[in-house]
């Protein structure tokens, strides 16, 4: 079963506008972490933001914020004031912690294009 | 500065050959991971290790093996390369104490002809 769902294969946003990238997850573990990574055309994976399952407040990192709705199992990434350099693939990922350690699961990604 | 490196960055090989991709990290992380990235699939976990002498199968482990003889290295071996294994391979590491991110290597693009 798909543990991370990203329903938007591609998104467009006008420069300087805000954009929300959707992510829903599925887990029965009470302790988990949610991540967003950016992959520009150069190919490297860049960590953006992290939300722990017990965190009371939504995570923020500069222009990135994570809209965490635990009951709905969603962890949407909000990018404010989009820049041309934000054009990239964005991956949502989940870290599960079990008796054996950690496991990471990634979604299929959303390609964001920022228009001038 | 600590880093994670992969070699080679690009590799072309023939069907049936054995191929080994190297991954080396200087973060002193216990956890290391190998992923493959294919269009439409995001990253899929191949193998992972939680420490020296520990290896575990991931979602797409068939045809791959790893060994962990020290903290820094987790080489990935394709025993008999197949065209279906043409992909971009990423190595990553993370802190065993539950640190907040995985640190990724730059990736290896493997083509199996």
Q: What DSSP assignment string belongs to B39-81?
A: TTTEEEEEEEEEETTEEEE-TT-TTEEE--SSSSB--EEESS-
Beta bridge partners of B24: B5, B73
C-alpha span between A93 and A96 (Å, rounded): 10
SS3 A84: helix
C-alpha span between B16 and A74 (Å, rounded): 43
* pLDDT for the residue numbered B42: 82
| pLDDT at A97 > cutoff 80 | no
Q: Show the tokens assigned to A54.
A: 């017990």
* pLDDT for the residue numbered A116: 94
Chain center to CA of B10: 14
pLDDT tens string for chain B (113 positions)?
889 999 999 999 999 999 999 999 998 999 999 999 998 678 999 999 989 999 999 889 999 999 999 999 999 999 999 999 999 999 999 886 655 678 999 999 999 99
Distance from CA of B49 to the nearest CA of A (A): 9
Single out the residue of A93, A115, A78, A76 nearest to residue A33, CA to CA: A93
Chain center to CA of A7: 12
Q: Are strands B10-13 and B108-112 parallel, antiparallel or unpaired?
A: parallel
Task: Tell which B residues from 41 to 100 touch A, by Cβ distance under 8 Å.
Answer: 41-45, 48, 50, 56, 58, 88, 90, 92, 94, 96, 98, 100
* pLDDT for the residue numbered A71: 94
Please, are residues B76 and B58 in contact by the beta-carbon 8 Å criterion?
Answer: no
- Contact call for A101 and B96, based on CB within 8 A: yes
| pLDDT at A1 > cutoff 60 | no
pLDDT digits (tens, 9 = 90+) for A22-61: 999 999 888 899 999 999 999 999 999 999 999 989 999 9
Q: Mean pLDDT throughout A75-91? A: 97
| B57: closest chain A residue by CA | A103
C-alpha span between A21 and A110 (Å, rounded): 7
């Amino acid at each position: 079963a798909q543990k991370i769902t990203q329903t938007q294969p591609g998104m467009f946003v006008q420069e300087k506008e805000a954009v929300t990238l959707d992510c829903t997850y599925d887990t029965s573990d009470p302790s988990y972490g949610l991540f967003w990574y950016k992959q520009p055309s150069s190919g490297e994976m860049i960590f953006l933001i992290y939300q722990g399952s017990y965190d009371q407040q939504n995570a923020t990192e500069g222009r990135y914020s994570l809209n965490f709705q635990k009951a709905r199992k969603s962890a949407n990434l909000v990018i404010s004031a989009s820049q041309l350099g934000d054009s990239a693939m964005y991956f949502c990922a989940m870290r599960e912690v079990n008796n054996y350690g950690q496991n990471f699961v990634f979604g299929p990604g959303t390609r964001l294009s920022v228009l001038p | 500065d600590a880093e994670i490196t992969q070699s080679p960055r690009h590799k072309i090989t023939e069907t049936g050959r054995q191929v080994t991709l190297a991954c080396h990290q200087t973060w002193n992380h216990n956890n290391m991971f190998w992923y493959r990235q294919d269009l439409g699939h995001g990253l899929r976990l191949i193998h992972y290790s939680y420490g020296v002498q520990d290896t575990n199968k991931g979602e797409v482990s068939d045809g791959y093996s790893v060994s962990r003889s020290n903290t820094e290295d987790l080489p990935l071996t394709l025993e008999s390369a197949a065209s279906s294994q043409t992909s971009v391979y990423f190595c990553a590491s993370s802190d065993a104490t539950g640190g907040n991110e995985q640190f990724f290597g730059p990736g290896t693009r493997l083509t199996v002809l």
